[in-house]
Amino acid sequence: MDDDFLKDYRKAAEVHRQVRQYVQTIAKPGITMTKLADEIEEGVRGLTGHQGLESGDALKAGMGFPTGLCLNNVAAHWTPNPGGKEVVLQYDDVLKVDFGVHVNGRIVDSAFTVAANPVYDNLLVAVKEATNTGLKEAGIDARIDQISERIQEVMESYEVEINGKVMPVKAVENITGHNILRYKIHGDKQVPFVKTKTDQRMEEGDIFAIETFGTTGNGYLTDDIGVYGYGRNENFRPTGLQYASAKSLLKTIDENFGSLVFSRRYLERLGVKNYHLGMRSLIASGVVEDYAPLVDIPGSYVAQFEHTVLLRPNCKEVISRGDDY
């Protein structure tokens, strides 16, 4: 964690703070998800000084992964796609805003939840307090099983009343916080928000995205239809690709995104056309993975809060912390 590392992380964190504070002023009923995603992404690209339109520019700084804009029972991994049906934010919606900013591959991952209707206040408070508990418990040599147990205790001490029905806030059991590696949003360590058995500990030099999801639903997420984004599988070598379109697309992916997750909007912004056949071929061969939206049961509401923490040798730094939360 040298000077360059901290300089990169501090810049990425400051960009995240500025963009999300602006987003909170415009994430109001009536705005479309495409408009919101565009505002976030253009803000990040503008403030990092990297528009990502030249080969390799997006690898210097910019979006760490596609902007997540998830409504109600959609918990994670939804983003507006080109040509898709436009989604407009409503007064009764619960919106999770999850985006990442990277500078030289140092990714700051932070998320928050917006709800215009105060009926959801307790749900948001439960999840924010659970995330803050995880951040408080995190540290060098901290046991992940103890952190998870404390997060769940705090989260599930809350209940919420919606339409006259009182419901417990449940911790989502099959999605987790995670450590972050350079140019790789998900590392090999996980921080669940439910009591778990593991002997894993946090270590000096680790970078963690401490996030929690609370729900009025089942607390178990399943894949929905649709595509959130794509990621290069570095363990698969691209041998025997049949189509020229697949080879050309893979070259574009490697040059512009590397191991960063990207979306259809990011490809089309680069001017890539007619990529669907090539992408199907890359996915079928295992070279690229696709990610679907993750949902709880229809009619449920999910909230999320998240911060990035650096476990430095002499201190614990919640790098993405801001005046907002």
Binding residues: 77, 98, 109, 178, 186, 211, 306
Which residues belong to the annotated binding site for substrate? Answer: 77, 186
Beta-bridge mates of residue 262: 230
Helix (H, G, I), strand (E, B) or coil at 233: coil
Beta-bridge mates of residue 32: 88
Q: Which residues of 55-81 are buried (b: 16+ CB within 10 A; e: fewer)?
A: eebbbebbbbbbbbbbbbbbbbbbbbb
Residues 150, 160: Cα–Cα separation, whole Å: 20
Instruction: Count Cβ atoms within 10 A of the Cβ of residue 12 and give its class: 0-12 exposed, 13-18 middle, 19 or more buried.
Output: buried
- How is residue 45 written in tokens? 């690209």
Token pair 């992380």 in the structure block, residue: 9
Angle (deg, nearest 10), helices 3-26 and 33-48 = 150
Concatenated DSSP letters of 179-228:
E-BTTBS--S-EE-SS------B--TT-EEEEEEEEESS-S--EEPSS--
Tell me the CA distances in angstroms from 243 to 227, 234, 263, one per residue in order: 22, 20, 21
Q: Which of 22, 191, 193 is nearest to 99 (CA)?
A: 22
Which residues belong to the annotated binding site for a divalent metal cation? Answer: 98, 109, 178, 211, 306
Q: Which of 64, 76, 36, 32 is nearest to 226 (CA)?
A: 76
| All residues at 6 or more sequence positions from 273 whose CB lies less than 8 Å from its CB, including other chains | none
H or E element, residue 96:
strand 94-103
Q: Does residue 76 contact residue 96 with C-beta atoms inside 8 Å?
A: yes
Beta-bridge mates of residue 110: 99
